[in-house]
Structure 1
Amino acid sequence: MSYLPCIEIEPQGSATASVIWLHGLGASGNDFAPIVPELNLPDSMAVRFVFPHAPSIPVTVNGGMAMPAWYDILSMDIDRKIDETQILQSAEAINALIDREIERGVESDKILIAGFSQGGAVAYQTALSYPKPLAGLMTMSTYFATHETLSPSAANQALEIFISHGTQDPVVPELLGQRAVELLRSKGYEPLYATYPMQHEVCLPQIQDISRWLQERLS
């Protein structure tokens, strides 16, 4: 089986939980790895963090320049025209990483999917359609790109979802975060939504909230 290349941060003992965390457009798995120590998770949680690298592909809105991307973005209007085939392919690649964590001995309901910006759009598709129960879904500064075509998994109909967004985001307007909440509620989910006075980034109060939420989900 061929897997996406990843940065992995192992706990002190054998992992009993896993977080698969997807980066944004033009970034890499290195983008969020430095956050792990800042989460200050207790050693007793034994969480393995997996930060996959997206492949390098041409991106239309960046003049066709090749860069790390989970899918092509065809236009940057509010509705974000994207290559849906590519987003589904990326979700399948993340499914394979979830399956690998299960093979390594982590129960599916101790595996949490996280994503920032483009990675968050893939995280929505992956977690909500995965056929086994997961621990949670965490999305940051992103949008629900596949809401019209998603086939939800019954196993994750009650999935815990934490959405966070910057109120001053010039890249992915907060309106898209609010819209994701509304779309999820219309499908029967009950997401938690938080905003922070920041742009397209993460901030310390948000990291602290993420830490608390991960501890609730994975302890």
Structure 2
Amino acid sequence: MSLETLEFETAPKPTRSVIVLHGLGDDGHGWAPITQELDLSPLGAVRFVLPHAPLQPVTINNGYVMRAWYDILGTDLARREDERGLRDSLQKLEALIAREKERGILASRIALVGFSQGCAMALLTGLRHGEGLAGIAGLSGYLPLAATTAAERSAANRDTPLFLAHGTEDPVVMHSRGVASRDALAALGYTIEWHEYPMPHSVSAEEIDDLNRWLLRVLAD
């Protein structure tokens, strides 16, 4: 099953793509206003692709059906992971990246951005993708399937810039979990731009400004 997407282009004939992955219970529409705050005009035409995660029951929410990239089995995000769900969404996102390349966008001009569950999927997918991407940004999330990252990561993306940001008052994905993910990736040799903000599980104007500057840099020729 392919993913439904919301898309918009800043001008005709885009040469770069930014794929934005929402969090649990949200959809692409939830990130459209934030994405439209980004000013990437110095790069020329950019296509923003905001996919909607599949609808599925989520265990931690009493089986309530909502949009989710994978099931959340409990509060311990490190020890109880829905590996099957994670890998299923990984394949769907690989197909989405392939479609962008089929539409003429080079892998080196594709950036992945994700929030919360979307952060997990951006890291899972981007680090394993077979061609070098422009960059991978993860907001208020964590590194999933961390124990397999070293063995499964792609050599093509070992030098891909990472942008990681987290709220110090996050009660959903604890700040310490974000820090642990940052440290695990640093130990594997990745170049990470780290930001933290005095906020809960949310997005701030300062964070969007920092992300904007990073995207301008990694998507530039």
Q: Shorter-chain TM-score: what band?
A: over 0.9
SS class of match (1:188):
coil
Q: What does residue 200 of structure 2 align with?
A: 199
* Aligned equivalents of 2:96, 2:81: Cα separation in 1: 23
**Cα distance, 1:70 vs structure 2:** 0.4
* Aligned equivalents of 2:134, 2:40: Cα separation in 1: 16
Q: What does residue 211 of structure 2 align with?
A: 210
* Aligned equivalents of 1:21, 1:137: Cα separation in 2: 10
Contact 2:11-2:44 within 8 A present in 1 as well: no
SS class of match (2:218):
helix
Q: Deviations over 1:182-207 (max 9, x none)?
A: 11012111211100111111010111
SS class of match (2:146):
coil
Q: Deviations over 1:51-92 (max 9, x none)?
A: 000011111100011110000111113636221111011011
Q: What does residue 157 of structure 2 align with?
A: 156
What amino acid does structure 1 have at the position aligned with 2:21? Answer: L
Q: Which runs of 5+ in 1 are unaligned?
A: none
* Aligned equivalents of 1:184, 1:57: Cα separation in 2: 30
Contact 2:43-2:216 within 8 A present in 1 as well: no
State TM-score, norm by structure 2: 0.95
* Aligned equivalents of 1:80, 1:165: Cα separation in 2: 21
Q: What does residue 41 of structure 2 align with?
A: 42
Q: What does residue 67 of structure 2 align with?
A: 68
> Structure 1 pair 63/47, CA: closer, same or farther in 2 (3 Å)?
same
SS class of match (1:182):
helix
**Cα distance, 1:130 vs structure 2:** 0.2
Residues 1-219 of structure 1 aligned to structure 2 (within 5 Å): 2-42=1-41, 44-77=43-76, 79=78, 81-150=80-149, 151-219=152-220
C-alpha RMSD of the superposition: 1.2
State TM-score, norm by structure 1: 0.96
What amino acid does structure 1 have at the position aligned with 2:19? Answer: I
> Structure 1 pair 127/44, CA: closer, same or farther in 2 (3 Å)?
closer
Q: Which runs of 5+ in 2 are unaligned?
A: none
Identity fraction in percent: 44
Aligned length: 218
Contact 2:81-2:145 within 8 A present in 1 as well: no
